């Protein structure tokens, strides 16, 4: 059985992008996470040690966005999925990276990429 833990709207400042000014100036990235896990052990024990500590996870995700710039949001999303899957209780992670200030010469609301990775797919 898999339950879903969802954390949305994690705001991070990152320096990712293919253009030099994106790397230099940085921009807002917004991250949404969905994790598949069995929450029954935590429900039975009412103890944080029996589930994913989402406070610690958010801090790890923020660190992963705010360091080590990459060119593509595909690379960033994959990195974040790997961070989520470090906890052995996570069966799968769905990560959405929003880049609302992407350098596009048009009016738009958002650029977003969503990926899903299973724990077994980690190298």
- Contact of 36 with 3, CB cutoff 8 Å: yes
Helical residues (DSSP H) of 1-123, grouped into ranges: 20-25, 40-45, 54-66, 73-84
| Known catalytic residue at 82 | no
3-state secondary structure 34-64: EEEECCHHHHHHCCHHHCCCHHHHHHHHHHH
Single out the catalytic residue among 16, 99, 117, 119. 99
DSSP type of residue 17 = S
The residues assigned a catalytic role are 99
């Amino acid at each position: 059985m898999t339950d879903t833990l969802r954390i949305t709207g994690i705001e991070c400042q990152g320096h990712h992008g293919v253009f030099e000014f994106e790397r230099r100036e940085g921009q807002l990235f917004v991250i949404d996470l969905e994790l598949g896990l069995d929450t029954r052990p935590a429900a039975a024990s009412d103890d944080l040690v029996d589930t994913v500590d989402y406070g610690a996870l958010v801090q790890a995700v923020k660190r992963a966005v705010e360091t080590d710039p990459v060119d593509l949001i595909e690379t960033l999303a994959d990195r974040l999925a790997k961070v989520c899957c470090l906890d052995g209780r996570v069966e799968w992670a769905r990560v959405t990276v929003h880049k609302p200030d992407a350098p596009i010469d048009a009016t738009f609301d958002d650029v977003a990429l969503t990926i899903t990775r299973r724990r077994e797919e980690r190298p």
